[in-house]
């Protein structure tokens, strides 16, 4: 019979010490099991994870899915990115916090994480910042694929 090993965990260990790099991008299991998530296209899933790479824990609301940023992650088409953004917004997994324009990027935030506004870079509209909006829980119709039947 194997002896039970005691894990040397200090009082201050958050549990992330066992993860290489000490950071992780967490998606709630409830979201992973939700119909809105199950309907996501592969491109929308990839964009979700690639935006997760930008997420630091305090910059939700300032995630930027620009082609110049995402090219390093293997993206080649602005059109595909725009469609994936529309899909994530359709299912309310992503919300737009700043509308871009000439010489101004658009920014987004995850609805399953609290949105953090930087006073030096205000959002276009008021956002709840105390807790996640969890808008993704609202059932949505299937995202239109744009393909002819």
Range in 117-121, 137-141, 145-149 the model is least confident about: 145-149
The residue assigned the tokens 């899909």 is 87
Neighbours of 67 (CB within 10 A): 14
Question: What's the gap between Cα 109 and its chain centre?
Answer: 6
pLDDT in tens, 52-74: 999 998 899 999 999 999 999 99
For the chain, what percent of residues have pLDDT higher than 70?
85
Could you give all domains of the chain from N- to C-terminal order, each with its CATH number?
A: 28-136 (1.10.10.10)
* Of 39 and 117, the one with more pLDDT: 39
Give rounded-to-5 percent helix, strand, coil for the chain. 35, 10, 55
Return the pLDDT at 8.
55
The residue assigned the tokens 């080649």 is 76
pLDDT in tens, 11-29: 666 666 787 877 888 999 9
């Amino acid at each position: 019979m194997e002896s039970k090993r005691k894990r040397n965990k200090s009082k201050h260990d958050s549990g992330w010490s066992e993860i290489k790099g000490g950071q992780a991008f967490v998606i709630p299991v409830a979201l992973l099991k939700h119909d809105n998530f199950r309907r996501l296209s592969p491109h929308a899933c990839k964009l979700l994870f690639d935006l997760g790479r930008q997420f630091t824990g305090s910059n939700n609301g300032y995630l930027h899915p620009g082609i110049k940023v995402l090219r390093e992650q293997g993206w080649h088409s602005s059109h595909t990115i725009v469609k994936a953004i529309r899909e994530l917004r359709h299912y309310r997994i992503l919300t737009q916090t700043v509308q871009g324009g000439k010489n101004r990027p658009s920014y987004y935030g995850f609805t399953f994480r609290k949105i953090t506004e930087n006073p030096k870079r205000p959002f276009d509209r008021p956002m709840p910042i105390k807790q996640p909006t969890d808008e993704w829980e609202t059932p949505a119709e299937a995202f239109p694929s744009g393909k002819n039947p």
